[in-house]
Amino acid sequence: MRCLVRRVSSAAVRVEDEVVGKIGQGLLVYLGVQAGDRAEDVDWLIKKLIGLRLFSDSDGKMNESLPDEGGILVISQFTLLGSLKKGCRPSFNRAAEPAEAKRLYQEFLSKLRTERNGMVAQGAFGKHMRIEAMDDGPVSIWLDSRQKAY
């Protein structure tokens, strides 16, 4: 399982013309599910995500995790698993099949909502989405449950 985490001042996701998820200050998380991912991958990513210290302390250093009043917006994005090993057109054969990816995406959301005090918003799995985000920093971090040394 792989995710790109961005610190944002605000973010919203639309499907067609309807806002389906939005947050103020917080984390915008793009989540890709890889073939073979399991519950252990979900648990590892959630622990890391909740513990990320990407917010400033009183000295202005990134030393604080997301405050309870901050939000997390999770967007499914299989393209995070794209490979350009054989040319310029990405191959997505490492991505999980849609049914399994959706199951693990929903498990991720459910566990995140259980583990975290605060808002967790989401996009619409498998839909074309338009994401609006105001980066704060910018601060972007990769998390990968198979390459934990990222």
Domains in the chain (CATH in brackets) are 2-144 (3.50.80.10)
Mean pLDDT rounded to a whole number for the chain: 96
Q: What are 18-71's pLDDT values in tens digits?
A: 999 999 999 999 999 999 999 999 999 999 999 999 999 999 999 999 999 999
pTM for this predicted structure: 0.95
List 25, 34, 55, 78, catalytic entry: 78
Q: Tokens in use for 121?
A: 């918003």
Percent of the chain with pLDDT over 70: 99
Q: Tokens in use for 18?
A: 């309807």
Strand 71-76 and strand 62-65: pairing? unpaired
List 34, 55, 77, 125, catalytic entry: 77
- Residue 77 known to be catalytic: yes
- Residue 79 known to be catalytic: yes
List 25, 34, 55, 79, catalytic entry: 79
